[in-house]
Amino acid sequence: MPAFIDSSTFLRYDELNRTDTKYHVNKEARIMWDAIVIGAGISGCSVARELARYKLKVLVLEKGHDLCAGTTRGNSATVHAGYDPDPGSNKAIYNVRGSRMYEDLCKELDVPYMRNGMIVFATDEEQLKEVERLHNVGNQNGVRTEICDRKRILEIEPDMGEGVIGGLWIPDSGMVCPYNLVFAMAENAARNGVEFKTGCAATEVKRGDDCWIVSTPDGDEETRYVFNAAGTWADKFNNMVSKDTFKIIPREGQHLILDRDLIKYTKTTICQTPELLPTGGHTKGMGLMPSVDGTIILGCNADDVEDPDFSDNTKEGIDKIVNYFEEKWHFLPISKHVPKFPRDAVITAYGGSRAHPDRDDFILGEPEDAPNFINLAGIESPGVTAAPAIAIDMVKILVDREHPEINTDYKPGRVIKKAFRTMTPDERRAAIAEDPDYAKIVCRCEQVTEAEIRDAIRRPVGARSIGAIKMRLRAGMGRCQGGFCSPRVLEILCEELGKTPLEITQSGGHSNILVGKACVENGGND
């Protein structure tokens, strides 16, 4: 059974007549999964990876066309140190614990990670009081923080603008590419037997006889445990099975991306004290984040929306970010070299909805009236940081109860080559000698080769759309936003998947790139 299952070609276990499991499977008796994970974002894939350490039959259901299609793909990529969550809350406990895991986690999965630190700057005495409060909260959470005067700020960021009189230095804040991490986690889980089914939404969860029944468009699946990592939809599934209900409020957050030419002017993540920001206290506020990929991320706004799947950019959201940075630009180190906010350096915008819970904290574990149904809900900021630590404790609920056999064949990490754009000249020559397709640059902006694109399609839980290639490799994320490389990416997808150009989509569903032939040969009229 392949680790990646396209919804259009999914084979049910009862069609396989398998006998290599403690649950006898034949035409008359279908498989009972040990665990079904609903959602393949950072929370779901963290759980899948932890479950893979045991000899369990695990299925991950994702309604999006690809992994990381919801909340995870729309965040700021910040690995928060944990200086600001309320002490004693789930958010604080798992933020700090997860942050301390990141260096080793990313090393094992071969994912770029940068501990660049964060400056929360102040421009008046009231903001300095907020700096002191955050410092005290950080200390209670066990996070290293330092109250800085202007002299100390300039030691960290020499070009910090006039008007910054002090701030808070959080040295353990970092940056990661969240979707790169999710793909790596999924590949590791798939490598160890976890099965993924994308383009297949869980529609209902209900009790069966000694199991849970998870309904999908392809039929019902039976499982002993459900891990509810459904992001902005997590409340719907919990409220189907438990009287202990809660509500998820989708909260839109948009970001702008600045051209990589500006990355040389800053090294730390920088934001202002939160109270005076236009986000109304919903987030840590507007920030400037140098990405691990060499661009700069600006954002985000925080506006409540009705649609849990809302991920569009809005003029209002973009204007809020632009107006804020036009006003505050002179405080930032870049302003010494680029005096005014560089509108022409904005290459794209992206957004997504966060899962803000009405309880204002992560909602974790089993409801009392729904045993074996495990919530990972309300995982908003700092969810990317906290998810790997949360997954360990949530999977422990199953392990402590069922005592599954350890997977002694578990393979850590994943096998992947360095990105061509990061290779040394000698490494590039060696890669080309091994595979001549490394010499064929498809995306000139991001230096992505044909060899890398083909590999991304062939990998476990591989790419099936132009957007999926973009997320995995950055092909199309550069200055031209895919204007030159997209046609060739489409051709390679056709070649690898055996599809026609009319079947290839931007992001699954009905997002077809081409919808018909513009002309036919021999003067036809069709």
Domain ranges of the chain: 4-72+178-247+359-402, 118-171+249-354, 420-503
The CATH number of the domain covering residues in 4-72+178-247+359-402 = 3.50.50.60
Q: Give the model's pLDDT for residue 10.
A: 32
Q: Determine contact, residues 393/385, Cβ cutoff 8 Å.
A: no
The Cα–Cα gap between 148 and 270 comes to 14
The Cα–Cα gap between 199 and 69 comes to 10
Q: What number of CA atoms fall less than 13 Å from residue 132's CA on the CB side? A: 7
Neighbours of 498 (CB within 10 A): 8
The Cα–Cα gap between 172 and 268 comes to 11
> What is the biggest distance separating any 2 CA atoms in the chain, rounded to whole angstroms?
77
Q: What number of CA atoms fall less than 13 Å from residue 453's CA on the CB side? A: 32
Token pair for residue 411?
């393979």
Neighbours of 208 (CB within 10 A): 12
The Cα–Cα gap between 476 and 492 comes to 14
Q: Give the model's pLDDT for residue 515.
A: 85
Give backbone dihedrals phi and psi of 225, rounded to 5 degrees, phi first: -130, 145
Q: Give the model's pLDDT for residue 522.
A: 57
Please state whether the peptide bond connecting residue 300 to the residue before it is cis, i.e. omega within 30 degrees of 0: yes
Q: Give the model's pLDDT for residue 30.
A: 65
Q: Is 282 designated active site? A: no
Residues 6+ apart with CB under 8 A from 368: 242, 244
Q: Give the model's pLDDT for residue 283.
A: 53
The CATH number of the domain covering residues in 420-503 = 1.10.10
Residue carrying the six token digits 């609903």: 38
The CATH number of the domain covering residues in 118-171+249-354 = 3.30.9.10
The gap between the terminal CA atoms of the chain, to the nearest Å, is 42
The Cα–Cα gap between 95 and 168 comes to 18
The Cα–Cα gap between 208 and 293 comes to 47
Neighbours of 88 (CB within 10 A): 11
CA angle 414, 419, 424 (to 5 degrees): 120
**Range list of β-strands (E), 99-186:** 113-114, 118-122, 146-149, 166-170, 174-176
Catalytic entry in 24, 65, 80, 356: 80
Q: Give the model's pLDDT for residue 484.
A: 92
Residue carrying the six token digits 């803000």: 356
pLDDT in tens, the chain (526 residues): 334 433 333 333 333 333 333 332 333 446 799 999 999 999 999 999 999 999 999 999 999 999 998 889 888 999 999 999 999 999 999 999 999 999 999 999 999 999 999 999 999 999 999 999 999 999 999 999 999 999 999 999 999 999 999 999 999 999 999 999 999 999 999 999 999 999 999 999 999 999 999 999 999 999 999 999 999 999 999 999 999 999 999 998 899 999 999 999 999 999 998 754 444 444 567 899 999 999 999 988 888 889 998 888 889 989 999 999 999 999 999 999 999 999 999 999 998 888 999 998 999 999 999 999 999 999 988 999 999 999 999 999 999 999 999 999 999 999 899 999 999 999 999 999 999 999 999 999 999 999 999 999 999 999 999 999 999 999 999 888 999 999 999 999 999 999 999 999 999 888 998 988 776 555 555 4
* 290, 441, 457, 476, 490 from 298: Cα distances, Å: 9, 29, 31, 19, 30
Residues 6+ apart with CB under 8 A from 519: none
